[in-house]
Amino acid sequence: MTTLSVDPKANGAKAAAPGKTRAETALARFHEEDRLGEGLDANILAGLWPFMRPHAKWLVLSLVLLLLGSGLAVLQPWLMGRTFDAFEHPDAARTLMQMGALILVLKLVEQSIAFPQVYLMQLAGARASGDLRAHVFRFLHTRKLGFFDRTPVGRLVTRVTNDVDAINEMFASGTLNAIGDLVRLVLIIVVMLRRDWQLALITFVAVPPVALGVMWTRRRIRDAFREIRVKTARMNAYLNEQISGMAVVQAYAREEQSALEFDDINEAYRQANNRSIVFDAALDAAIELVQSLCIAAVLWYAGVRSLSDRVSFGTLVTFVAYIEMFFIPIRDLSARMTQLQSALAGAERIFQLLDNKDEDAPVPAAAAEGQAEKKDAGFGAKDAEGDPEPRASTSLAFELDHVDFEYKPGVPILRDVSIHAGKGEKIALVGATGAGKTTVASLLLRLYEAKQGSVRVFGRDVRNAPRDELRKSFAVVPQEVFLFPGTIASNIAAGDVEVDRARVVRALERIGALDLFERREGGLEAKVEERGSNFSAGERQLIAFARALYRDPPILVLDEATANIDSDTEARLQKAVWAAMQGRTALIIAHRLSTIRAVDRIVVFHKGRVVEQGSHETLLAQGGAYARLYQLQFSRTEAHAAE
Ligand SMILES: Nc1ncnc2c1ncn2[C@@H]1O[C@H](COP(=O)(O)OP(=O)(O)OP(=O)(O)O)[C@@H](O)[C@H]1O
């Protein structure tokens, strides 16, 4: 079976080269993230701008408050110095009281603008990240299924969660504060130079080595952050696969092996984190050391100079306070830089994803404009009598015309396939497993595109049909039914925001399964767990049939489940199949030949080619491939009956 949904098998499972360690083998299965080039930061920031723009007013307001706060913070040590110098004057007591009151007021103002400044910045960041997250999610809906075949789910989850969070961090505490840090730094330099240029120069001697050290570390930290993201994506991919496949892991007692593989992935993740922690901590410690050395040098120089030219106590207090403040912005700048690097690495990956060109069935301009043509083709429309068949100039519901198809270049799956179904006709596809039957259905829905030939639905080439209109013409009952968390009713009404309960009941009644689900605790509102794990395979199939009837499309595609089900459910499903097919065109991908005796035409597939077509009786009389398949199943059924 292919998938009308995502095929986890196709997500990787590359065999590791012989001679690789177990760790390498395990990691290789989750694909290396594409290596990122030295992305231009300005380009990435420009890419983020459309998401920031709607919230820019909050950022600007926050920036104004930040500049005000920086100014007030720098003013205080200067006032403190003046206060200490006042000790030497006769009216020291009055000056002290005045200065004390002024510093108190400044401190209060500084603290009271800190809250709105941080709040507004975080607000803008959270909103912009929310918009970006929604944009990436919507973008995923527009990709071709082939893209999901190649991309591990965990990697995509990381893009929408961790990478966007890293960008949020940048908004929340990074970019704007860095501007505040820079302003603070410039103000401190100016005030220090004006107060005592010699002491100031002693402090500034430390700036070039600190700047070089910060730049060197910055590069390392950026690399470390990239590495962390790669390892996070791998871990998510591995966890996703292991948790989805838990039943197989436990049934085949693979716990120990999985734990060992996870250890390797976990260890690689830990080591990547460790590198970033080491660089971060080393930078912090180095800056603290430089700060202490500067204070010591200033005090020493003041001592030496006092032999000829005394440095006032106020000047020393101001300098010690400024040196502490001077290195804080430098240290914070580097921390902000770390956040910025992390965010840019995340943004780079997001934009790399958004650059993906595998667009799913784009809406061509001609189709979008040609509303008249759309009506004529009649996708999804109903005629005046409420017949689910749409009005159209053609008498065919769908047609594959000399179609060739391959999932991977050079591996043909369908070869020169021509099948057609008139409106209301019931067509069955039969053939060995892997013959290409499910692939035919995927091409009709344009989940994949034919390499050669054309696929038409109601006379219109699917490549010229708006995606939504085309897919509204179909209801698909897949082999493996996917249920969303919610209730039975919400699953039957999949896609509808408001559940039409009367329609749900009617759909269940028509397939004869209303009593079965109403008997459950909670009735139609009974909870459906993740992926429908609290429902049997047969029950899930019945819900899928009801879903198809609820949608009431002109064409039904039924990919029959191969799973064995009990005879009661089998009887219910048979009833459901016939109920679902009434009044519409149907394509049945059949595994049990008993299901399809009464269809209008049977198409027999062998290795991607159509080898026979005709009614059950005609094909049996021909004594070809279908007759052999039928004999095989019939004798198997007889043997079962005899046992
Ligand atoms: N997403 C995919 N990527 C690559 N190859 C695929 C993909 N899906 C299916 N195939 C391959 O295409 C071939 C046809 O698959 P398809 O599912 O159409 O067969 P089928 O006749 O429906 O089989 P079954 O009776 O088991 O459901 C198989 O060889 C399968 O391995």
Can you give the CATH number for the domain in which 500 is found? 3.40.50.300
Same domain, 138 and 273: yes
Instruction: Answer whether 411 contacts ligand 1 (Cβ < 6 A).
Output: no
Instruction: Answer whether 439 contacts ligand 1 (Cβ < 6 A).
Output: yes
Instruction: Answer whether 557 contacts ligand 1 (Cβ < 6 A).
Output: no
Identify the DSSP state of 328. Answer: H
CA of 151 to the centre of ligand 1 (A): 18
Same domain, 258 and 407: no
CA of 516 to the centre of ligand 1 (A): 33
**pLDDT value of residue 635:** 67
Residue 363 belongs to some domain of the structure: no
CA of 358 to the centre of ligand 1 (A): 20
- Calculate mean pLDDT across residues 559-567: 66
Q: ipTM beyond 0.90? A: yes
**Predicted model pTM:** 0.67
Please identify, among 354, 370, 403, the residue that sits at the C-terminal boundary of a domain. Answer: 354
Atom of ligand 1 nearest to the CA of 411: 5
CA of 437 to the centre of ligand 1 (A): 8
421 bridge partner residues: 398
Instruction: Answer whether 572 contacts ligand 1 (Cβ < 6 A).
Output: no
Give the residue, 488 or 145, on which the prediction is more confident: 488
For residue 7, report the phi and psi dihedrals to the nearest 5 degrees.
-100, 105
**pLDDT value of residue 639:** 56
**pLDDT value of residue 3:** 41
CA–centroid distance for 330 within its chain: 36
Residue nearest to atom 5 of ligand 1 (CA): 407
Q: What is the H or E stretch that residue 477 is in?
A: strand 474-477
Can you give the CATH number for the domain in which 300 is found? 1.20.1560.10
Alpha carbon separation from 505 to 501, 547, 550, 576 (Å, rounded): 6, 11, 9, 14
Same domain, 166 and 310: yes
- pLDDT tier for residue 68 given thresholds of 50, 70 and 90: very high
Residue 326 belongs to some domain of the structure: yes
Atom of ligand 1 nearest to the CA of 589: 22
**pLDDT value of residue 417:** 94
Same domain, 306 and 395: no
Atom of ligand 1 nearest to the CA of 479: 27
Same domain, 305 and 393: no
For residue 544, report the phi and psi dihedrals to the nearest 5 degrees.
-65, -40
E-strand stretches of 179-219: none
Atom of ligand 1 nearest to the CA of 2: 17
Residue 218 belongs to some domain of the structure: yes
Same domain, 417 and 285: no
Instruction: Answer whether 606 contacts ligand 1 (Cβ < 6 A).
Output: no
Mutation pick for ligand 1 pocket among 3, 413, 609 (CB with most ligand atoms within 8 Å) = 413
Instruction: Answer whether 480 contacts ligand 1 (Cβ < 6 A).
Output: no
For residue 287, report the phi and psi dihedrals to the nearest 5 degrees.
-70, -40
CA of 436 to the centre of ligand 1 (A): 6
Residue 382 belongs to some domain of the structure: no
3-state secondary structure of 129: helix
Same domain, 403 and 271: no
Instruction: Answer whether 441 contacts ligand 1 (Cβ < 6 A).
Output: no
Residue nearest to atom 31 of ligand 1 (CA): 434
Residue nearest to atom 4 of ligand 1 (CA): 407
Identify the DSSP state of 356. Answer: -
Mutation pick for ligand 1 pocket among 11, 417, 438 (CB with most ligand atoms within 8 Å) = 438
Same domain, 349 and 391: no
Residue 7 belongs to some domain of the structure: no
Same domain, 177 and 256: yes
Instruction: Answer whether 434 contacts ligand 1 (Cβ < 6 A).
Output: yes
Residue 91 belongs to some domain of the structure: yes
**Token couple for 544:** 């899928």
Question: Which range (149-163, 282-296, 515-529) has the least confidence?
Answer: 149-163
Residue 9 belongs to some domain of the structure: no
Q: Considering its fold, how many domains does the chain have in total?
A: 2
Same domain, 290 and 395: no
Same domain, 425 and 334: no
Instruction: Answer whether 435 contacts ligand 1 (Cβ < 6 A).
Output: yes
Instruction: Answer whether 433 contacts ligand 1 (Cβ < 6 A).
Output: yes
CA of 441 to the centre of ligand 1 (A): 11
**pLDDT value of residue 52:** 87
Residue nearest to atom 7 of ligand 1 (CA): 2
Same domain, 398 and 334: no
CA of 216 to the centre of ligand 1 (A): 52
Please identify, among 334, 354, 374, the residue that sits at the C-terminal boundary of a domain. Answer: 354
Strand arrangement of the beta sheet that strand 585-589 belongs to: 474-477, 555-559, 585-589, 426-431, 601-606, 609-614
Give the residue, 343 or 393, on which the prediction is more confident: 343
CB 347 within 8 A of CB 51: no
Q: What mean pLDDT value characterizes the chain?
A: 80
CA of 407 to the centre of ligand 1 (A): 9
| Residues in contact with 630: Cβ distance below 8 Å, sequence separation at least 6, in sequence order | 593, 620
Q: What is the 3-state secondary structure (H, E, C) of 352-373?
A: HHHCCCCECCCCCHHHHHCHHH
- pLDDT tier for residue 643 given thresholds of 50, 70 and 90: low
Residue-number span of the structural domain to which 124 is assigned: 41-354
**pLDDT value of residue 375:** 38
Q: Tell me: the pLDDT tens digits for 445-473?
A: 988 889 999 999 998 898 888 878 888 88
- pLDDT tier for residue 367 given thresholds of 50, 70 and 90: very low
Query: What's the sign of the alpha-carbon dihedral 283, 287, 290, 292?
Result: negative
The total number of residues shown for the chain amounts to 643
Please identify, among 332, 354, 376, the residue that sits at the C-terminal boundary of a domain. Answer: 354
Residue 109 belongs to some domain of the structure: yes
CB 526 within 8 A of CB 488: yes
Instruction: Answer whether 413 contacts ligand 1 (Cβ < 6 A).
Output: yes
Instruction: Answer whether 149 contacts ligand 1 (Cβ < 6 A).
Output: yes
